[in-house]
Homo-oligomer: A and B are copies of this chain.
Amino acid sequence: MSYQRIKTSQGGRGMELEKEIGLTNEYYLNNNLAVVHKKPTPVTIVKVDYPKRSAAKITEAYFKIPSTTDYNGIYRTRYIDFEAKECASKTSFPLSSIHNHQLKHLQSVLNQGAIAFVIIRFTQLNQTYYVEAEKLLNYVSSTDKKSIPIQWFEENTHEIRYNYVKPVDYLEIINQLYF
């Protein structure tokens, strides 16, 4: 199972993490553990056709830069909010992967008392980390570097272990940290 996961991850599709988080969220929802959804991809719709007898068809639209993170929801009365990123490098995570809007959003929800984090997967190393937003924001504001070395993740963050029914079981980390 784990081997299969590595293989598809390295297939270069870059969406494996998203798919696994989707399965995890579905498991949480079906077992009444948490309600967390991925937000739809933000697009600007320019043109829509309304053909007779069939569904409205969008014929011109563009991708927008997201102003928030991709995931949010509720777990045991707490608001949770996170972003997920895959990283192809074996040695460091490029900060350009996360938009400034998203960092600002994470700070705003932290100010309201959220549980906020970023899930970062090093696909070549097959390691997935739960990074507390507080720590990431501190790192970013205290450095001019453009990437975070893998050592920092090993020392400052929490590895999420692979689980068959809930592949990216981030609630396990949240339980340790907050409950």
Contact = CB atoms under 8 A, between A and B. Distances in A.
Interface of A: 29, 32, 34-35, 37, 39-43, 45, 55-64, 67-68, 72-79, 81, 105, 108-109, 111-114
Given A55-B63, A72-B73, A76-B113, 13 more contacts: A29-B108, A35-B114, A39-B39, A43-B61, A56-B63, A57-B60, A57-B61, A59-B60, A61-B61, A73-B79, A74-B81, A74-B109, A78-B79
Residue of A55, A64, A77, A105 with most partner-chain B CB within 10 A: A77
A77 B78 contact: yes
Nearest to A111: B32
Contacts of A74: 79, 81, 109, 112-114
Nearest to A80: B79
Contacts of A59: 59-60
Contacts of A62: 55-58
A113 B78 CA distance: 8
B37 A40 contact: no
Nearest to A81: B74
A55 B112 CA distance: 35
Nearest to A72: B72
A137 to B, nearest CB: 15
Contacts of A72: 72-73
Given A76-B112, A76-B113, A43 B63 contact: no
Contacts of A60: 57-59
